[in-house]
Structure 1
Amino acid sequence: MSMLDRYIARHVLMATGLSLFVLEGLDMLFAFLDELDDLGEGYTLGKIVQYLLYSLPDRLYDMLPISALMGALIGLGMLAASSELTVMRAAGTSMWQLARSLFYPTFLIMLLVTFIGEVLVPHYAPEAESVRAVALGKQDKYASRYSVWHREGDTFMHFNAVDSRGVIYGVTEYQFSPSRELVSTRTAEQAQYQDGHWTLEHVQDMQLGQHEVKSTQQNQVAWNTQLTPELLRLVVLDPLYLSMEGLWHYGSYLRDQGLESDAYWLAFWQKLLQPIATLALVLVGMSFVFGPLRSVSMGQRVVSGLIVGVAFRLSQQLLGPVVTLSGISPLMAVMVPIVLCVIAGMYLLRRVR
């Protein structure tokens, strides 16, 4: 790495770090204010702070690509404002040499994105969801904002809240016959996984006959299910909270069972291509500095970076439902915004030449 590469990398990394600090600070503030709506006896101020800290890696993972775009805009914009980029070009440095210099800090950011997405998010995001779901949901036996459904053969299961340590609150089972008639229901206050098996506590069973309904209650019942804490973790979590390995295995499992798996394959391709998306956004940022934003103020560059970054993020989020409804390949849905960014960046850079 030459002295010029290190000089450009230092400016870009400092600008990226500053952008990430500001954006994440605002994101955490707005998230804190939003969580205050649920403040209550179970969901205390301490639980809110704990939830926000556990969710920080996931928030950083989402913000890093936008921060990298703004880092390129601000870092290179500072060099352009002081005429240093003009001097570099006059000294014989080509556009692609400058692009290579910009690649070094971008590569470090890409490694950081991958590390956060594969190591930190799968570890801390489930803890964050568990803290909030249990605090808000375990007091309600039958309904919760964070409840989940699971199917096992002809049995449909509803879980009110799931603790990451292997405790389920508010368990409800609906058993159907092969002809899709409801034959029995079971509700339990909670289920605990110990010594390789589940135990239901405070259980009420109801058998639905043709002419009568039989109800029984028990304090503890052994629960025979194929669910394990590891599988339950996959069932209840947002696909983006899983590692690529977990997404691959669970997506393959759902596909083999003939169940809907597009959401997991969409998350898999998003995580796999997130570093490439970061590189594409940085390329757009570089093309803006040398192209349409070469003589504007720093404030305009920041606003432009936010607009492009938010538009890119929204396009990825909007294509998710499109995949589910239209049958488009998840890979294609993830690739389209990235390819458009690369084409736009290359086009603007070629115009500068």
Structure 2
Amino acid sequence: MKILQRYFAVSIAQAVGFVLLAFLALLAFMDLTGELPLVGKNGYGSTQAFLYVLILIPGHVYQVMPIAALIGTIYTMAQFASTSEFTVMRAASMSTAMAAWFLFRIGVVFVIITFIFGELIAPRTAPIAERIKLSARGTTVSSEFRSGMWTKDIVKSEGLSGAATGARFFNVREARPDGRLKDVKLYEFDNSFRLRSITVAAAATYQGSNVWRLLDVTETRFSNSTVLTPGVEANLKNNFIQETSAVATQKSASKDVVSEITPRILTVSSSDPARMSAAELRVYTAHLAENKQETDRFKIAFWKKLIDPMAIFVLMALALPFAYLHTRSGGVSLKIFIGIMIGVSFILVNTLFSHLGLLSTWPALLTAIAPSALYLLLALGALWWVERH
């Protein structure tokens, strides 16, 4: 059986590799087509465009590997059926469970490769590609947003520890590819949601250890002394009334600010969750939860990052019944076309469940695992049918 396992592995690996290269070439061509209108503008040349498209390829490997595994396995199984090899294998005492075990062991390799590209390579290459594009065009990360980039953290009595004394909102007009921030504004509120200070800085650089150094700083502080007014205290327990006359403004060349916000969190906050690693999603979700912000979208993306590569097992199981269909049931090309349709339907259902889960506030794990569970039932049903017929 070791020889048979090796024959399965080599045949499927060759087919999956060919399909994967075809998909990557197609996606790279589409990416390049999308970049061509920008070539020649603001110093963005063809070399930078080709380099940008090339560096995005690892991310595409993660995206298309499950579909490539499905189509490649269907092609191999269809070839086995058309040449009656699978019939000979079954006559040599190979059961359906044994064939499924062969596919599972081969699928483990594909899953590991997918995880490596999705967790280790793509999250590092995607920011490099964006920096190359932004540097070449002379633009910034936040230039697409009218008011800049926004994020929030909790102000604590001892910097990163101690009791929470308020909240702080970061507004960054420009986040440059080198990590330097320009036109920074910090809005700090106390625990009663009263404005405590506004800090405006021309630029900011990260010093490490959660310390930002603000340059050319103008800080406006409000005393927020309590004003007791008959009738108002009964209606407003926290008394949001401020003494607007108690305002102090101070200017300084630089100021260090301790914050939970790091360049990594800033980068993640402006990134597409689909391009982030599970580790980055976990860190950013914890940050949002601590600041009492919406986390459902990132929780779903986190679980999808862990579960989607496992869908390779499900899709390869869907390919196994094609080995039981003889040539009279349709040629190899027809079976490959059916495989492509199954792959496209899986992508559509997977995306649909992501949106439905977000709109209906379903549990993130259930939202991520439901499409794979649905197609696993379909695969088991197909295997039962071919066994019976």
- Provide TM-score, normalisation by structure 1: 0.84
Task: Trace 1:128-207 onto structure 2 (pairs within 5 A).
Answer: 128-136=129-137, 138=139, 143-144=144-145, 148-152=149-153, 153-163=167-177, 165-168=178-181, 171=184, 186=200, 188=202, 190-194=203-207, 197-200=211-214
Q: Structure 1 unaligned runs (5+)?
A: none
- Between structure 1 and structure 2, the one with the greater Rg is 2
Paired residue type of 1:120: I
**Displacement of 1:306:** 2.0
The residue identity in structure 1 corresponding to 2:78 is G
Q: Size of the alignment, in residue pairs?
A: 349
Which residue in 1 is equivalent to 2:4? Answer: 4
Q: Which residue of 1 aligns with 2:225?
A: none
1:249 aligns with 2:268: no
Change (3 A) 1:246 1:300: same
Say whether the 8 Å CA contact 1:176–1:184 is kept in structure 2: no
Residues 286 and 160 (structure 1), Cα distance of their counterparts in 2 relative to 1, 3 Å cut: farther
Aligned AA (1:54): I
> Could you give the per-residue CA deviations for residues 292-323 of structure 1, whole angstroms, max 9, x where no partner exists?
99832232223222222122122222333323
Q: Distance in 2 between matches of 1:351 and 1:56?
A: 39
Q: Is contact 1:11-1:76 (8 Å) kept?
A: no
Contact (CA 8 Å) 1:137, 1:161: kept in 2 or not?
A: no
Aligned to 2:257: 224
Q: Which amino acid aligns with 1:166?
A: G
- Quick one: structure 1 residues 321 and 182, their matched pair in 2 at CA, closer, same or farther if it must change by over 3 Å? farther
Task: Tell me by how many angstroms 1:111 deviates.
Answer: 1.2
Deviating more after overlay: 199-208 vs 15-24: 199-208
The 2-side partners of 1:257 and 1:294 are apart by 62
3-state secondary structure, aligned to 1:80: helix
Provide the identity percentage. 28
Change (3 A) 1:342 1:159: farther
Q: Please give the secondary structure, in 1, of the residue aligned with 2:181.
A: strand
Q: Please, what TM-score do these two structures have when normalized by structure 2?
A: 0.77
Who is 1:20 aligned against? 20
Please state whether the residue corresponding to 1:259 is helix, strand or coil. Answer: coil
Measured in 1, the distance between the counterparts of 2:86 and 2:28 equals 35
Offset at 1:171? 4.2
RMSD: 3.5
Cα gap change, 1:345 to 1:103, in 2 (>3 Å): same
Return closer, same or farther for 1:295/1:133 CA change in 2, 3 Å cut-off: farther
Contact 2:44 2:137 in 1 (8 A): yes
Moved more, 235-244 or 310-319: 235-244
Q: Distance in 2 between matches of 1:141 and 1:106?
A: 40
Q: Alignment partner of 1:258: what SS? A: coil
Give the aligned partner of residue 351 of structure 1. 385
Could you list the per-position Cα deviations for residues 92-124 of structure 1 after superposition, in whole angstroms to 9, with x for gaps in the alignment?
A: 322222222222221110111112122112222
Residue of structure 1 in register with 2:35 after alignment: 35
Which residue is equivalent to 2:156? none
